[in-house]
């Protein structure tokens, strides 16, 4: 499970905001602080194992709801993936009928590919690296532009970039992930276009971090798009 959303760098009519959310990690940290560190770690592992078992079903349900809302508003979805390496695309294409909405995913795992294929600022990548909120934002906007074509005027762009582990990437710890979302006005819950990035802190194995990243972006997308039936 995602254990924290600690950053929201946002382009929304010139506004910037911060978001803070808590999950499994906070409960474990509190337990450990009270003197139960070893038991807390065991409980964390058990909870991760339990969540891993139900995570595919949660992703399926979220993806299906997102696809339905986008189709109702004639909105398409495109992705640019780094650490998830196609798992985000799989979350959508697992749903029957997803081809009516989901356009594709550019897996730009290599840092240079993020610049050459998506057009992410090369200086930003050189100085900050690929694991950065602004990189996630630029990836999201770029993939929306990349897949836009005649008849597809409104495209949601999604992106993932982070450290899957098992170890850190220089000063970036394993489990640190940034997700980017470019939301067109027609489906934005706020009523205007948004380009946002969120910081996730994930736990577990490399595969668990990657799958939690997919769940995280589906959760945020579901929150940020308007319900077409409202």
Q: What is the CA radius of gyration of the chain?
A: 17
- Determine the Cα–Cα distance for residues 132 and 199; give it in Å rounded to an integer: 9
The DSSP bridge pattern shows strands 194-201 and 176-183 to be: antiparallel
User: Residue 206: CB partners within 8 Å, gap ≥ 6?
Assistant: 164, 165, 166, 174
Instruction: Answer for the pair 143, 104: CB distance below 8 angstroms, yes or no.
Output: no
Residue with tokens 């398409």: 76
Query: 3-state DSSP call for residue 73?
Result: coil
| Each residue's pLDDT tens digit, 113-170 | 999 999 999 999 999 999 999 999 999 999 999 999 998 879 999 999 999 999 999 9
Total tally of structural domains belonging to the chain: 1
Domain that holds residue 132: 4-24+55-224
Q: What is the pLDDT of residues 29-74, one digit of tens each?
A: 333 333 444 554 555 555 556 567 778 889 999 999 999 999 999 9
CATH code for position 111: 3.90.950.20
């Amino acid at each position: 499970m995602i254990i924290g959303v600690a950053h929201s760098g946002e382009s929304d009519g010139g506004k910037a905001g911060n978001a803070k959310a808590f999950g499994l990690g906070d409960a474990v940290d509190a337990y450990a602080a009270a003197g139960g560190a070893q038991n807390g770690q065991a409980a964390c592992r058990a909870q991760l194992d339990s969540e891993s078992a139900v995570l595919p079903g949660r992703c399926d349900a979220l993806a299906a709801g997102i696809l339905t809302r986008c189709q109702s508003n004639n909105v398409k979805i495109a992705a640019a993936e780094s650490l998830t390496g196609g798992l985000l695309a799989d979350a959508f294409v697992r749903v029957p009928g997803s081809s009516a909405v989901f356009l594709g995913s550019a897996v730009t795992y290599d840092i240079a590919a993020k610049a050459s294929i998506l057009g992410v600022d090369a200086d930003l990548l050189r100085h900050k690296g690929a694991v950065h909120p602004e990189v996630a934002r630029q990836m999201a906007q770029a993939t929306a532009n990349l897949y836009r074509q005649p008849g597809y005027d409104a495209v949601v762009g999604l992106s993932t970039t982070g450290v899957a582990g098992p170890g850190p990437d220089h000063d970036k710890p394993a489990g640190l992930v940034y997700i980017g979302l470019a939301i067109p006005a027609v489906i934005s819950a706020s009523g205007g276009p948004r380009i946002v990035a969120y910081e996730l802190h994930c736990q577990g194995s490399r595969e668990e971090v990657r799958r939690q990243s997919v769940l995280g972006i589906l959760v945020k997308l579901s929150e940020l798009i308007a319900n077409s039936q409202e």
